[in-house]
Structure 1
Amino acid sequence: MNILFVHQNFPGQYRHIVRALAKAGGNRLVALAIEEPSEPIPAGVTHVRYGIRRASATDLQPWVQDVETKTIRGEACATAAHRLREQGFSPDLICGHPGWGEMLFLRDLWPEAPILTYQEFFYQAHGFDYDFDPELQGIPSWQDCARIRMKTANLLLNLEISNWSVTPTAFQRSSFPPAWRSRLSVIHDGIDTHHARPRADAPPLTLPDGTTLRQGEPIVTFVNRCLEPYRGCHTMIRAIPELQRLAPEARLVIVGRTEGVSYGAVCQEGEWKDRFLAEIEGQFDPSRVHFSGHLPYKQFIPLLQLSAAHVYLTYPFVLSWSLLEAMSCAAAVVGSATAPVQEVIRHGHNGLLVDFFSPAELAASVAELLANRPLAERLGAAARATVLADYSLKPCLSRQLALMSLVASRAVG
């Protein structure tokens, strides 16, 4: 079977699928991407890069700028795909991430090819991430709502051209319009539970600032790709003084880039980290708070294996892999009582849930886990059991591959 993968930063979410297909053999695998591969590509996979050859216009009505950007990307990807077609390549299945526009015009090149899209989230002006935080977001104006509506144009066009779609969680599926949910399978990408596993003999880990962490220490971990309110950095930072009062020996490791954002609005007063640290200046011991910046994955999992308590906070938005990896390492988790987290964590069973906006509640729950190690161990063991049962790589990968076969054979869609 000829399979075309489309992802701007290939392999992205197709990492495990591509490895499995390449190992099994019998398929021709081709990938279209903008970036150089983010990791070694398996032998037998043809990786084709394409470039963006024009910039967005500067004088467009602001609401259509997102549409233009995605159209430019779609054109660039389709141009590269056209060259593949001219060389005789004809896919039996196209699998792609439509979020940046790359998938828009592939149906026009291969009208008969089944398309399976990886859908992450459908933007909504109300009830999800956009109007969740009254302090930092406020009530959206009708103009804000109009801009969000225009942002869904790419998603709706891709839903229309797809034979079928897949999304990682039931919460993410719930963000899509009801008319499309019946054509959306919920299958997680899968967590490598052998690699992300608890280790009683976890070796010491030295942070970029030279601090060495050791097993048995009261280490609290918090992870963002970029430190920003969408992932609760303001609540975490505001909780530091109270957490240190309740657990003065705790060592807090905050992982993530401190410049820019991944999802939400940029800080108008510098960087989010600095804004919220300024609020607690003089109220905490900075020698026990470590901002590590981005950590390579080879250090990230060892950090989770040392964690005595892991904090995960998020707006009602896409669920991070890092939460499930922490759970797979049997870390005791304190999570926000928001819908994506509540799908995974049941309070008192496999973690603790707190009000997203309450630094005091967060600090008290983390301190409870540090003081009550039998409770933390019980919650951590149940957290790993949850991942093993519902998110482990092997069964998730089997379901992903089975869905691909169904779409390719037109048994669904």
Structure 2
Amino acid sequence: MSAPTTPRTSPAADRELLADFAAMSAFGATPAGGVERQAATADDAATRAWLAEWLTDRGFTVVHDRIGNMFGLLELSPGAPYVLAGSHLDSQPRGGRFDGAYGVLAAAHAADRLRRHYAQTGTTPRCNVAVVNWFNEEGSRFKPSMMGSAVFVGELPLDTALATTDAAGVSVAEALDDIGARGETDVFGPERRVAAYAEIHIEQGRELDKSGTTLGLVDRTWAANKYEIAVVGSQGHTGATAIADRQDALYGAALIVVALRELAERFGEELHTSCGQLTVYPNSPVVVAREVRMHLDLRSPSDELLAEADDALRARFAEIELQADVAIERRFAHTWRGHVYQAEGVELARAVAEDLGVSSMIVRTRAGHDSTNMKDLVPTVMLFVPSVEGISHAEAEFTADEDLCTGVDVLTETLARMLDGALTPEPRS
């Protein structure tokens, strides 16, 4: 074990963190204790404004890039690259108050603690630090998910993202302009470079909670295939149209939902499947549906198993087309392969946890996170704190105060070592 670079937190700092978390959670609060602030809505804008004021009051410079990613820049070493830390403020409909938002606030508090530490000690780190709130990580209003970080790393064209519309036909560009969150330039580039990235998040699973472990060290991601499909039939009268003559799109969609569950049962815990969204047209009680649009989700730790399941689902699609007399059209796909996080980042986090006396274990992330994109660009550290009973994307989502505070302690020390070049030993100015 080695001595921490930064002093441990104080009870006052913990109280400040929890008070700020409560204040932030009031934006878009739901009666059952969750939040609803989908990307670029009024409640998302209000949360962004609160965070911007918090950062500005502490000496950070707040800027937005062209896809609405929000950065709080703290220049500690002029000309040096930046270590980014953060997550996202947007939520699912009637979602939990911890998902994403905790990671942004934790990064803000960790960066501010480092600001105070360097000011008090008169030391200068090798890198600067920036807090980031990624745009539209959830993908509930605009698809795909992780949109802001995907544009940032070059995996999704900016123009494609800006032209994406929500269910009401509002484009990302229009929504960002409505809340004043679309910047005119890229914040990072040749003149201001990124050296590394760190993110802390609730686990959204039960491994930490079941084992009584405080910190998860994420070493790899599950692969995922996400599809938007359309089941196309023919509109008819629910009473007058003979069953044999119906081209019922909703019947075809129902068979797909069942097929997804049967796939999951066939492959066991190594495959997760779902239909997370289903829109019926014309959605009238006396009309046979002419079209159903669906969002399908397949995830697995194995790229090979995911491909096998995908092939099986396509074969079932062909059978369903005949069985229901419908056409199944794939409209959009968002996929990523399973990947590992840099081993040196996992080891850095493990060493920090050991030095701080925090229990830790290796975990895989089944969910997608902005770090999933960032790890393909720069050395990345991904940390988890426990989710009670693994509940997430729901108002009952919960993480204990002690775990929230410990997570910020670990992130602060991890960032301190990253700013001193732990993952980028020779940052160039």
* TM-score w.r.t. length of structure 2: 0.29
Structure with greater strand share of residues: 2
Higher RCO (Cα < 8 Å, 6 or more apart): 2
* TM-score w.r.t. length of structure 1: 0.30
